[in-house]
């Protein structure tokens, strides 16, 4: 049930006797120099060492992640933090599945890039100009409404 990746190194299962988890992940550092775990299962060692138990664990993680993602999808049109819940479900899946880990890495990279682009002075100037333009249009429409109908609420307007 666990998909592999093109990266070398242990993906899931038990490490061999000569390789500890710290040695397997040695040399993998994040952008700020902190240790970064490799791809694969993050299930406890005793679960990974037993194939049937590990498969049951993966099924449980998949079902729980699926329920959380489904709840997030339901929250998209309804009130609630839909996208946050969907990404929480993806994070649950990422504890066990390589494909979810890769999707989360890609998403984090894209969000970081978008945040950096938003801080670019030219983009900020463009956003300010668009916001001011929108506010001027809304103010003009409000002024036309007040000029035509006065300060009467729309549901109290009678053939004028």
From the number of C-beta atoms within 10 Å of its C-beta (0-12, 13-18, 19+), residue 141 rates as exposed
Q: In whole angstroms, what is the distance from residue 87 CA to residue 94 CA?
A: 10
Question: At residue 28, does pLDDT exceed 50?
Answer: no
**HSE value, Cβ hemisphere, 13 Å, CA-based, for 126:** 7
22, pLDDT greater than 50: no
Q: Residue 34's pLDDT band (boundaries 50, 70, 90)? A: very low
Q: What is the pLDDT of residues 46-76, one digit of tens each?
A: 777 777 887 888 888 899 999 999 999 999 8
Is the full-model pTM beyond 0.75?
no
């Amino acid at each position: 049930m666990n998909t592999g990746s093109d990266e070398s190194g242990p993906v899931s299962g038990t490490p061999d006797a000569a390789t500890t988890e710290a040695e397997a992940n040695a040399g993998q550092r994040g952008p700020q120099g902190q240790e970064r775990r490799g791809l694969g299962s993050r299930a406890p060692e005793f679960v990974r060492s037993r194939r049937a138990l590990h498969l049951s664990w993966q099924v449980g993680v998949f079902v729980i992640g699926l329920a959380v993602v489904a709840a997030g999808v339901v929250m998209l049109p309804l009130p609630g933090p839909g996208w946050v819940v969907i990404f929480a479900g993806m994070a649950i899946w990422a504890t066990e599945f390589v494909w979810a880990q890769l999707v989360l890495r890609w998403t984090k990279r894209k969000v970081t890039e978008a945040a950096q682009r938003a801080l670019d002075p030219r983009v900020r100037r463009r956003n300010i100009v668009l916001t001011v333009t929108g506010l001027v249009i809304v103010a003009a429409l409000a002024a036309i409404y007040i000029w035509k109908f006065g300060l009467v609420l729309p549901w109290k307007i009678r053939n004028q």
